């Protein structure tokens, strides 16, 4: 099965092989979303189950994340929209103190696929950097914050608070996500939405953008 081969290439941390196998699967007519879910994401789920967070494991998981990234790059053109037109801008970043970016990168791909122009601030992004990015792009539709570490949840709260204090806050939506984030937490800190997957995140953002467009 092409999915099993892709999964193994990612688990073994082989970026070139992962990219080649993803390309081959697409050429053979496999769908991009099946390759993402049954190949790449399935490998990350397996890695997550076995992660012990010792030094050896970190090196292994890092190699796996690189292979995942190489595979994702092959998939990106297949999720690119065009068919949805321009839905405006989305600002995206991982909360301060947190260096995890695999989930964030998938969110970016899905948003682009839904017609958003994505301004990706990267990882370890502070409240100040998010606020500055919104000031630089006052026409932004959605601000997305990703967080995988419980220790960075206070930073996520701080970012949302800083965004909520902005004068133009009513003009954009704030969405949060990542492993330790819950719907309840989103409500508590004043974010507008939470989901546990990138596809649904892009759908919710698209609905926000459409609602805003029909109101104006
Ligand atoms: C890969 C990985 C790493 C890699 C990261 C590489 C990279 N470039 O990202 C490396 C090896 C560097 C790493 C380091 C560490 N890690 Co780590 N890591 C993982 C691992 C195995 C997988 C994470 C991942 O990529 N998942 C796959 C993606 C696709 O899933 P996702 O991010 O959740 O994203 C999906 C959704 O959540 C959602 N989503 C994500 N973001 C957003 C945003 C919005 C707005 C929305 C709506 C949705 C959304 O959409 C995505 C796709 O559907 C997890 C285990 C796990 N079960 O998650 C541990 C894990 C997250 N790491 C952990 C830890 C402890 C660490 C370290 C502290 C280890 C150490 N001792 O140094 C360091 C921290 C470094 C730092 N400062 O950030 C813990 C966190 C525990 C906690 N609750 O805080 C975990 C849970 C492992 C564990 N069980 O202990 N890690």
Q: Which of 38, 42, 53 to mutate to test the pocket of ligand 1 (most atoms within 8 A of CB)?
A: 53
The whole-model pTM stands at 0.92
For the stretch 50-58, contacts whose Cβ atoms lie closer than 8 Å and that sit 24 or more positions apart, written own/partner, are none
Looking at the chain, the whole-number percentage of residues with pLDDT higher than 90 is 75
Q: Which of 68, 179, 203, 204 to mutate to test the pocket of ligand 1 (most atoms within 8 A of CB)?
A: 179
Spatial contact of 64 and 10, defined as CB atoms under 8 Å apart: yes
Ligand 1 center from residue 146 Cα (angstroms): 10
Q: What's the pLDDT at 213?
A: 75
Atom 16 (ligand 1) nearest CA: 53
State the residue for tokens 């081969």: 5
Nearest one of 166, 173, 174, 163 to 126, comparing CA atoms:
163
Tell me the per-residue pLDDT of 151-194, one tens digit each, with 9 for 90 and over.
Answer: 999 999 999 999 999 999 999 999 999 999 999 999 999 999 99
Q: Report the distance separating Cα 116 and Cα 51, nearest Å.
A: 34
Q: In Å, how far are 27, 94, 147 from 155, measured between CA atoms?
A: 43, 10, 9
Query: Which residues on neighbouring strands pair with residue 193, listed in sequence order?
Result: 175
Q: Flag whether pLDDT at 83 surpasses 70.
A: no
**Least confident interval from 93-97, 158-162, 202-206:** 202-206
Q: Flag whether pLDDT at 63 surpasses 70.
A: yes
Tell me the per-residue pLDDT of 140-158, one tens digit each, with 9 for 90 and over.
Answer: 999 999 999 999 999 999 9
């Amino acid at each position: 099965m092409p999915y099993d081969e892709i999964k193994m290439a990612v688990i073994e941390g082989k970026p070139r092989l992962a990219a080649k196998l993803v390309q081959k699967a697409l050429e053979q007519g496999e769908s991009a979303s099946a390759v993402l879910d049954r190949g790449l994401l399935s490998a990350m789920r397996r890695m997550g189950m076995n992660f012990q967070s010792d030094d050896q494991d970190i090196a292994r998981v890092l190699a796996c994340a690189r292979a995942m990234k190489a595979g994702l790059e092959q998939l990106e053109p297949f999720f690119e929209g065009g068919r949805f037109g321009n839905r405006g801008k989305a600002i995206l970043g991982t909360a301060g103190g947190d260096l995890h970016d695999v989930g964030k990168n998938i969110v970016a791909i899905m948003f682009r696929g839904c017609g958003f122009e994505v301004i990706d601030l990267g990882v370890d992004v502070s409240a100040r950097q998010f606020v500055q990015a919104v000031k630089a792009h006052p026409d932004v539709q959605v601000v997305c914050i990703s967080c995988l570490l419980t220790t960075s949840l206070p930073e996520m709260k701080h970012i949302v608070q800083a965004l909520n204090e902005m004068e133009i806050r009513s003009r954009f939506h704030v969405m949060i996500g990542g492993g330790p984030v819950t719907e309840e937490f989103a409500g508590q800190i004043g974010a507008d939405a939470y989901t546990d997957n990138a596809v649904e995140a892009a759908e919710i953002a698209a609905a926000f953008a459409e609602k805003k467009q029909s109101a104006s």
